Chains A and B, each alone.
Chain A
Amino acid sequence: MSSKKPRAEEDEQVRPQEAAPRPRPTVAVFKFASCDGCQLSLLDAEDELLAVAGAVDIVYFPEATSIMRKGPYDIGLVEGSITTHHDAERIQQVRRQSKVLVTIGACATSGGIQALRNWKDVAEFVRAVYAKPDFISTLKMSTPVAEHVPVDFELRGCPINKAQLIELIAAMLAGRKPNIPTYAVCIECKRRANVCVEVAQGIACLGPVTQAGCGALCPSFNRGCYGCFGPMESPNTPALTGRLRLLGQDDDAIVRAFRGYSAWAWQFRQAGEECERS
């Protein structure tokens, strides 16, 4: 085709990324049961926000804008867990509308703190706590998005690390895999040259089984990790349980430690339930 040659010449003069103005990918931010903290992380990226807004087209993000354009969207960011019948239907729509669906944060990725209801009789609980329980529509369980629809990428954390969110967006724009490590918080402690709070002070710490991403914040503040980023890849939870017992933690305390912000992630769920049974 005759048009090919001039295009090739152009390409030599103009660097590929500056060439043909590609349409900016559209981004939508959806909220389910959550605290708003993970989507706020995007607005908290003060240094990058205007650049991000220049690189992508934010077309649905009710917390930040009155623009509410209909889908489909190139990237759907989902915050929050599924806790109502309505939301269980809505997540199906969100999946249909999003070419790429990314869950942001512990609620969307593992059910969040509200998944603690999963071990309780919620119907009885609602009757006990609301004057008019008929007004309340809630599911018995708080479940992660991936239990309802396929998820393309999960960003961990309670809250997410905003640098990881920017990395994720940058990676998507470049069409590469995001560089999000899946090793343990312990690695981050070593990098920061923290003295291990568990070894040196006998403080209970979930760092050995928790995915990195926070920068080992809690040990840096002289306390044990409490698992905001959920289980690392292949965590050895039985070994940690044994270690926590040696430190004098009773089984109730160990169960509570695993039942926190990523309680419903199967590795932590299993670790807590094993401890309860023993």
Chain B
Amino acid sequence: MRSKTNGARSIRVDMLARVEGEGGIRIKLKGEQVQDVQLHIFEPPRLFEGFLRGRHYQEVPDIVARICGICPVAYQMSAVHALEGILGITVDPAVRLLRRLFYCAEYIESHALHVYMLHAPDFLGYPDAIAMARDHRQTVEQALRLKKAGNQLMAALGGREVHPISVAVGGFYKTPSRAELRAFVDELQWARDASIATVKTVAGFDFPDFEQDYECVALRHPNEYPLNEGRVVSSGGLDLDAAEYDEHFVEQHVKHSNALHSRLRERGSYLVGPVARFNLNFDRLPETARQAARDVGLAPPCRNPFRSIVVRAVELVFACEEALAIITEYEPPPAPMVRAAVCAGSGCAATEAPRGLLYHSYEIDERGLVLSARIVPPTAQNQKRIEDDLWHYVPQLAGLPADQITARCEQAVRNYDPCISCATHFVTVEVG
């Protein structure tokens, strides 16, 4: 939509399609100059950190899953790590592996959804994957099979794809047998090959000539591509424990958004998500994933946000490869769950959700009830960065007809796979 008065134009998207949750964009232009960019988030706040107060710590993984239907495992993982830190629980190595496997399953499901069903239609000129299927039936069928491979693994580990029920503080309520997991090997091998083919397919799309100098923030682990563990590092030289997060990151409440904007205290906006992980952890990817990237000329640092679709495809290769490696190695733990004596305390953890760094911190009392909770989801962190991308990208588009500017801006937002439902549930709770 466009209105024109005295050379001033405004671009409005009232409802962003193919993103999770409810948001829109407002851009004000004068000639080729951008005067204002706002990513509006009108998704209603659900106030999660409020309900968590007074709940027992063992209920937390189930409750926080409900923040996001697309990445519930991420919320469960950050929560259990933070709470286990408070209770001094160390899980069995097999439980640690299973959690990593669970995360891989979520990456496959979430990335396949975004790459094929939410983002590819932009590049191929369709309103959605269903319309795309009329001309590219086989591609869409493969995409659905790939997504299903992730979802079936999720269901095997967690009972169901959305809001799995197996995750507990201390481990799992039930762990799978070796044979149950071995049954996935053939399909995951197919999925890995399909992911390698996906890298090639999406790398062949047309990408706008647009690069930004991002400060990338992601976890980094001594020898793994980061999912559950690692230090928070950045391309600007940060190297922190999750406990130091608040010293370096700050949130702002702005009028046009029901989600808070995160910024680096020193330097402003930053980037989390697949591109940040890839840029900071390329050397930790399995060789097949690195080779798939090299074959299409993708190397760190990737500075073109539109190429995030290729990076997501590379992470699909990683997730399949990693899942296969874990399944090969897996022996069930002696007990699914470690139980610990309840003690009061506070703790935090960060893990890598499919959309980027997800930070949780909790304080519990001596009965094990939550006193305070704080959750910083990836989309809240990327929000400012999405606006910054639009500030820099829109001048390139100024000569285009309004409907094309609008479509390109929407595509630029979708580069981030924003999860607006997640972002909005972020509120800061001050106790006392």
A53: CB under 8 A from chain B?
yes
Of A29-37, A166-174, A180-188, A264-272, the one touching chain B: A29-37
Q: Residue among B44, B127, B129, B254 with the most chain A CB within 10 A?
A: B44
A256: CB under 8 A from chain B?
yes
Question: Of B20, B44, B128, which contacts A66 at CB under 8 A?
Answer: B128
User: In the complex, A221→B411 CA distance in Å?
Assistant: 41
Q: Which B23-66 residues sit within 8 Å CB-CB of chain A?
A: 42-51, 55-56, 59, 62-63, 66
Per-position binary interface string of chain A over residues 16-45, scored 1 when its CB falls under 8 Å from any chain B CB and 0 otherwise: 000000000000000111111111110110
Question: Of B43, B51, B131, B428, which contacts A113 at CB under 8 A?
Answer: B51
A residues near B147, Cβ cutoff 8 Å: 44, 46
Query: In the complex, are the beta carbons of A64 and B67 less than 8 A apart?
Result: no
A residues near B410, Cβ cutoff 8 Å: 66
A residues near B166, Cβ cutoff 8 Å: 221
Query: In the complex, are the beta carbons of A66 and B148 less than 8 A apart?
Result: no
Query: In the complex, are the beta carbons of A117 and B15 less than 8 A apart?
Result: no
Per-position binary interface string of chain A over residues 83-121, scored 1 when its CB falls under 8 Å from any chain B CB and 0 otherwise: 110110000000000000000000000001110110010
User: In the complex, A33→B45 CA distance in Å?
Assistant: 8
- When C-beta atoms are compared, the residue in chain A nearest to B161 turns out to be A44
A163 to chain B: closest CB distance in Å?
Answer: 11
B residues near A41, Cβ cutoff 8 Å: 162
User: In the complex, A239→B243 CA distance in Å?
Assistant: 46
A79 to chain B: closest CB distance in Å?
Answer: 9
B residues near A64, Cβ cutoff 8 Å: 17-18, 117-118, 128-130
A8: CB under 8 A from chain B?
no
- When C-beta atoms are compared, the residue in chain A nearest to B14 turns out to be A68
Per-position binary interface string of chain A over residues 206-220, scored 1 when its CB falls under 8 Å from any chain B CB and 0 otherwise: 000000001001101
- When C-beta atoms are compared, the residue in chain A nearest to B369 turns out to be A252
Given contact pairs A49-B144, A129-B50, A253-B56, A226 touches B44 in the complex (Cβ within 8 A): no
A1: CB under 8 A from chain B?
no
User: In the complex, A189→B410 CA distance in Å?
Assistant: 47
Query: In the complex, are the beta carbons of B15 and A62 less than 8 A apart?
Result: yes
Query: In the complex, are the beta carbons of B18 and A65 less than 8 A apart?
Result: yes
Query: In the complex, are the beta carbons of B255 and A66 less than 8 A apart?
Result: no
Query: In the complex, are the beta carbons of A114 and B68 less than 8 A apart?
Result: no
Q: Which A134-186 residues sit within 8 Å CB-CB of chain B?
A: 135-136, 138, 142, 158-159
Given contact pairs A36-B421, A128-B429, A129-B47, A256 touches B20 in the complex (Cβ within 8 A): no
Query: In the complex, are the beta carbons of B20 and A63 less than 8 A apart?
Result: yes
Question: Of A43, A86, A129, A217, which contacts B160 at CB under 8 A?
Answer: A217
A68 to chain B: closest CB distance in Å?
Answer: 7
B375 to chain A: closest CB distance in Å?
Answer: 12
Query: In the complex, are the beta carbons of B130 and A58 less than 8 A apart?
Result: yes
A residues near B45, Cβ cutoff 8 Å: 83, 136, 138
User: In the complex, A84→B253 CA distance in Å?
Assistant: 19
Question: Of A47, A50, A125, A217, which contacts B130 at CB under 8 A?
Answer: A50
Query: In the complex, are the beta carbons of A37 and B47 less than 8 A apart?
Result: no
- When C-beta atoms are compared, the residue in chain B nearest to A54 turns out to be B130
B169 to chain A: closest CB distance in Å?
Answer: 13
A residues near B141, Cβ cutoff 8 Å: 50
Query: In the complex, are the beta carbons of A84 and B50 less than 8 A apart?
Result: no
Query: In the complex, are the beta carbons of B421 and A35 less than 8 A apart?
Result: yes
B residues near A63, Cβ cutoff 8 Å: 17-20
User: In the complex, A46→B56 CA distance in Å?
Assistant: 36
Query: In the complex, are the beta carbons of B51 and A117 less than 8 A apart?
Result: yes
Question: Of A46, A50, A84, A117, which contacts B133 at CB under 8 A?
Answer: A50
B140: CB under 8 A from chain A?
yes
Query: In the complex, are the beta carbons of A65 and B128 less than 8 A apart?
Result: yes
A7: CB under 8 A from chain B?
no
Given contact pairs A36-B69, A129-B428, A220-B159, A62 touches B51 in the complex (Cβ within 8 A): no
B residues near A44, Cβ cutoff 8 Å: 147, 151, 161-162
Query: In the complex, are the beta carbons of B258 and A217 less than 8 A apart?
Result: no
Query: In the complex, are the beta carbons of B46 and A33 less than 8 A apart?
Result: yes
Query: In the complex, are the beta carbons of B258 and A35 less than 8 A apart?
Result: no
Question: Of A47, A128, A142, A158, which contacts B66 at CB under 8 A?
Answer: A158
B70: CB under 8 A from chain A?
yes
User: In the complex, A138→B113 CA distance in Å?
Assistant: 31
B residues near A122, Cβ cutoff 8 Å: 47
A223: CB under 8 A from chain B?
yes
User: In the complex, A122→B46 CA distance in Å?
Assistant: 11
A67: CB under 8 A from chain B?
yes
Query: In the complex, are the beta carbons of A36 and B70 less than 8 A apart?
Result: yes
A residues near B430, Cβ cutoff 8 Å: 128-129
B residues near A132, Cβ cutoff 8 Å: 253, 255
User: In the complex, A218→B61 CA distance in Å?
Assistant: 14
B210: CB under 8 A from chain A?
no
In the complex, given contacts A130-B428, A220-B174, what are 12 additional A-B residue pairs having Cβ atoms less than 8 angstroms apart?
A36-B69, A64-B117, A66-B18, A113-B63, A114-B46, A114-B48, A125-B47, A132-B255, A218-B165, A221-B165, A228-B163, A253-B56
Residues of A whose CB lies within 8 Å of any CB of B are 31-41, 43-44, 46-47, 49-50, 53, 58, 61-68, 83-84, 86-87, 112-114, 116-117, 120, 122, 125-126, 128-132, 135-136, 138, 142, 158-159, 214, 217-218, 220-223, 226, 228, 253, 256, 261
Residues of B whose CB lies within 8 Å of any CB of A are 15-22, 42-51, 55-56, 59, 62-63, 66-70, 72, 113, 117-118, 121, 127-131, 133, 140-141, 144-145, 147-148, 151, 159-163, 165-166, 168, 173-174, 252-255, 258, 336, 410, 419, 421, 427-430
28 example contacts (A-B, Cβ-Cβ < 8 A) are as follows A31-B22, A33-B44, A37-B66, A37-B163, A46-B147, A46-B148, A58-B130, A62-B17, A63-B18, A64-B18, A65-B130, A65-B131, A66-B17, A66-B18, A66-B410, A67-B131, A84-B44, A113-B46, A113-B63, A114-B46, A126-B47, A128-B429, A129-B429, A131-B428, A135-B254, A135-B255, A138-B44, A220-B159
